[in-house]
Amino acid sequence: NAGVMQNPRHLVRRRGQEARLRCSPMKGHSHVYWYRQLPEEGLKFMVYLQKENIIDESGMPKERFSAEFPKEGPSILRIQQVVRGDSAAYFCASSPLGDRANTEAFFGQGTRLTVV
């Protein structure tokens, strides 16, 4: 059973371009979380999604950022018109359906976005 897969592992974008980060959850997992980690800082919650639904996006910046988790395919975190301050590591985690409070989440290895 493959773990949470994130790609690309490293992404370089020029200011003003779009960044698309993908997260394939573990098989059988239908809950996905996205986090951002700035250098030397902790993980900041961004958004929590279930298949085709955004459950909690209270950590998402109001502009330029969006996330989806379609019925088929990976979850996508999309950043439009990137700025230098978007440079960070973006981590995705997944957990299975069911008694979610009693189940750990599994993290991917992250995508490191660099805006030049």
Partner 1 sequence: DAKTTQPPSMDCAEGRAANLPCNHSTISGNEYVYWYRQIHSQGPQYIIHGLKNNETNEMASLIITEDRKSSTLILPHATLRDTAVYYCIVSDYNNNDMRFGAGTRLTVKP
Applying CB under 8 A, among 11, 43, 54, 76 the residue interacting with partner 1 is 43
Whose structure tokens read 């189940």? 103
Q: Which is nearer to partner 1, 44 or 78 (CB)?
A: 44
Residue 51's closest CA among 29, 66, 35?
29
DSSP 8-state code for residue 83: -
Applying CB under 8 A, among 26, 30, 105, 114 the residue interacting with partner 1 is 105
Give one DSSP letter per residue of 71-99, joined into a string: SSS-EEEEE-S--GGG-EEEEEEEEESS-
Q: From 14-22, 39-47, 60-68, 69-77, give the range in contact with partner 1 by CB under 8 A.
A: 39-47
Judged by CB under 8 A, does residue 33 bind partner 1? yes
Minimum CB separation of residue 104 from partner 1 in Å reads: 4
Contacts of 102 (CB under 8 A, 6+ apart): none
| CA 26 remoteness from chain centre | 14
Q: From 11-19, 60-68, 79-87, 92-100, give the range in contact with partner 1 by CB under 8 A.
A: 92-100
Number of chain positions touching partner 1 (CB under 8 A): 26
**Contact positions with partner 1 (CB under 8 A) in 62-91:** 89, 91
